[in-house]
Amino acid sequence: MTTLEADNSSAARIRTAQAFVDAFSTFSETALLSVRTPSCIQYFAPHSVNIPPKTNSDFEGHFARLRGVMSSFPFMVKEMIDNPTANQVLVWTTASPVWLPEIMRRDVEEDWKYTGEYMFLLSFEDGESGVDGEGGVFKRIERIVEFVDSKGTARLQGLMKKGRDHVAK
C-alpha cells in the first residue's frame, strides 16, 4: 500500500467515524445506518451492563425508543484515534441527551441533567464503499464495540423509563 492509499483509508475511516458520531446529534436513522454495513453488529461493554448486541434492525428499534424521549443525543468527541493496522478507529466521547420538553416536569428539571462517557471501537470493512456528497472516500463500519459507564448507563436507563412513563400519561 502506498502512503497516499494509507492516507486515503485513514481519512475515510475518520470521515465515517465522525459521521457515525454526528448521526446522534440529528437522530437521523438514515445517516446512522448508511455508515454501517448491512451485517454490522454493535456490542456493548462491560458485560455487567447486560445490553444484548444489536443488529441494524435492532438499532432502528432502539433509535425509535430514544426518539420517544429525546430530540437528540449529541456527542462531544474528546479524542479520536485511527489504527490503520487494525482498520479501526477508537472514539472517546461524552454525551448529554436533549430531552423532549413534554417529558420533563418543571419541578424536577434538575433531575434530568445527565452527561455520559462513551468509547466506540469501530472496525471497518476492507476497501472503500464509495464517495460521499463532498467527494470524499468513505468506508462502512462492520463491527462496533461500545464501552459505556455502567453506573451512568443505569441512571440514563432510569431517566428514559421515567420519560416514557410521562409520555404514556
The predicted-structure confidence for 122-147, as pLDDT tens digits, reads as follows: 999 987 665 565 666 678 999 999 99
The predicted-structure confidence for 63-75, as pLDDT tens digits, reads as follows: 888 888 899 999 9
The predicted-structure confidence for 79-124, as pLDDT tens digits, reads as follows: 999 999 999 999 999 999 998 887 776 445 557 888 999 999 999 9
Domains and CATH numbers, the chain: 3-168 (3.10.450.50)
The predicted-structure confidence for 22-76, as pLDDT tens digits, reads as follows: 998 888 888 888 899 999 999 999 998 888 999 999 988 888 888 888 999 999 9
Instruction: Write down the pLDDT at residue 134.
Output: 64
Instruction: Write down the pLDDT at residue 3.
Output: 39
**Which of 77, 103, 76, 71 has its CA nearest to residue 90?**
77
CA distance 64 to 142: 22
Instruction: Say which residue, 135 or 164, is predicted with more confidence.
Output: 164
pTM: 0.85
Neighbour count for residue 14 (Cβ, 10 Å): 18
Cell of 3: 502512503
Neighbour count for residue 36 (Cβ, 10 Å): 23
Instruction: Write down the pLDDT at residue 4.
Output: 38
Where is mean pLDDT largest: 17-21, 107-111, 149-153?
17-21
Q: What is the dihedral of CA 50, 51, 55, 60, to 10 degrees?
A: 160
